[in-house]
Structure 1
Amino acid sequence: MTSTATHLRTIAIHWTDLHEAAGQPAQIGAFGLGLRGYLARLDQADRDEFNYDRAHAAHLRSLERDPIQIGERPVPVRLHILDTMRAVEAALVHCADDIAHAAQRAPISVPAARKADYRTLREARIAAAERERQQQLAHADQVDPRRWKFTGHRTASHAALWLLARVERAPGPCRRITGTEEERIGTVAAGAAARVERALDIAAQRRTLETPCVCGGLIDVHGGEGRVPVAHCTGCGRIWTEGGVIAA
């Protein structure tokens, strides 16, 4: 069974790959639902490029630019990759918010300035040095990189690594998470990692089609990890690829 830590590392490691994949042409040979899935991927690729072309044309009209200024057209955006990134990031950041609200302690308060009468200059200097030390500790605690921030730039990879630190009981401004909190992280991490792996086609997959073979047998489809999907009928033994029947 894959551990929560492995799922979180998968997300953090491959987040840059998703950014790069979002701007690359669709990978037609990726895992799909047999021939129907293959054709669906072709249709989706056409729709993605059509949507991009329409949006790009509208953008150019709005700028009223001279045609010679247009230059080379950017690579079409892969919408399903962007959807995956948005869903994964939202789930991880929300999970980190919830865990931090419960487990992360509040920052050390900056000591307030106060008026005091000191009997000697030495006492005044000692008090001033102590105030400065406390102020430095409070500032360091507030900007501690191990502290989860509720505002600012919050990414899926950062959330994954922060949650990984909680799961691995790393030191930081947090108490140890409970078993229930760890289960919550595990559920979110497993779902997010599965989305990332499917989007990048880096995990072996197997599915059974809803539509049976003409013989009545079930059709299993194997693929993923960049391999061309292969469909196999468990009844008559027929095997298909995108190129057609290769065994009957």
Structure 2
Amino acid sequence: MSTAATHLRTIALHWADLADAAGAPSQIGAFGLGLRGYLARLDQADAEQVEYERLQAAYLRSLERDPIQLGDRPVPVRLHILDTMRVIEAALVACADDIAHATQRAPITAPSARRTATAPYASQRDADIAAADRRRREQLALADQRDPRRWRYTGRRTASYAALWLLARVERAPGPCRRLTEAEERRIGTVAAGAAERLERALDIAAQRRTLEQPHECGGLIDVHGGEGRVPVAHCTGCGRVWAEGGVIAA
């Protein structure tokens, strides 16, 4: 399986998870922007959680006093997840639009009826044969227009559907499209890699490693490891010291 196909499968499989995460509580253990940023976020998150609970309690008390407030309540959403979803969906749909415009053949044209007044048939048998042939071609044209393998510029234009359609093109699946060129495959691969990276970072499902810009006092570089739901840990490549959110855990 190609790298592009792997990325597209990841997007299709985890798109629903990303949508669910938009309404889920923030995960403080995400990889973040480095260990210092992570540690600073812990205290900030605690303060925000206290303030959120205070405001939520006041809001619930106001609902108890208001008898017209019935039905389901809207839940808080994580705006950065929604922003990630919009960026991914826009990129994949635009890529599918471009690839379909270049590779997808036009639908079969339905046949037009013969003007028998100016060009009559020689016999009823010829007319019946022509009518049967026209019905057959009309059915073929209609089936081609409704082919579910055909990318459409209106209607169902979601990130997961675009990922699956592009995956079919990458894997040479049959359909009303010619084979991709190398340049088109590279375009899909680039878009898929960027989209999958954003999705994995938002869901914290990929292992990550990053080197902080500021070196340690010993002069060594500080590598931060995390992701996949794990708490970030920093390691100095110079002196070997290791940090976590609780402070130094090894020296």
Question: Size of the alignment, in residue pairs?
Answer: 238
Counterpart of 2:40 in structure 1 is: 39
Q: What is the RMSD computed on CA atoms of the aligned residues?
A: 2.7
Cα 1:185–1:112 shift into 2, 3 Å:
same
Among 227, 232, 245, the residue aligned to 2:235 = 232
SS in 2 for 1:111: coil
What is the CA distance between 1:158 and its match in structure 2? 0.8
What is the CA distance between 1:136 and its match in structure 2? 0.9
What CA distance in whole angstroms lies between the structure 2 residues aligned with 1:183 and 1:200? 26
What CA distance in whole angstroms lies between the structure 1 residues aligned with 2:207 and 2:124? 73
Counterpart of 1:90 in structure 2 is: 90
TM-score calculated relative to the size of structure 2: 0.86
* Kept in 2: contact 1:213–1:233 (CA 8 A): yes
SS in 1 for 2:122: coil
What CA distance in whole angstroms lies between the structure 1 residues aligned with 2:45 and 2:111? 59
SS in 2 for 1:119: coil
**Runs of 5+ unmatched residues, structure 2:** none
Larger Rg belongs to: 2
Counterpart of 2:201 in structure 1 is: 198
SS in 1 for 2:27: coil
- Residue 216 of structure 2 is aligned to residue 210 of structure 1: no
What CA distance in whole angstroms lies between the structure 1 residues aligned with 2:135 and 2:12? 38
**Runs of 5+ unmatched residues, structure 1:** none
* Kept in 2: contact 1:30–1:226 (CA 8 A): yes
- Residue 156 of structure 2 is aligned to residue 153 of structure 1: yes
Counterpart of 2:246 in structure 1 is: 243
What CA distance in whole angstroms lies between the structure 2 residues aligned with 1:43 and 1:2? 42
After the TM superposition, which of the residue ranges 143-152 and 28-37 deviates more from structure 2?
Answer: 28-37
* Kept in 2: contact 1:35–1:242 (CA 8 A): no
- Residue 123 of structure 2 is aligned to residue 123 of structure 1: no
| Cα deviation 1:155-195 (Å, max 9, x = unaligned) | 11111111111111111101101011111111111111111
Q: How does 1:1-248 map to 2 (within 5 A)?
A: 3-32=3-32, 33-40=34-41, 43=44, 46=48, 66=66, 69=69, 73-116=73-116, 117-248=120-251
What is the CA distance between 1:38 and its match in structure 2? 4.2
After the TM superposition, which of the residue ranges 65-74 and 100-109 deviates more from structure 2?
Answer: 65-74
| Cα deviation 1:125-167 (Å, max 9, x = unaligned) | 2111111111111111111111010112201111111111111
Fraction of identical pairs, as percent? 72
TM-score calculated relative to the size of structure 1: 0.87
| Cα deviation 1:29-85 (Å, max 9, x = unaligned) | 1212113134347758949x97xx89xx8xx9xxxx945515664332111111111
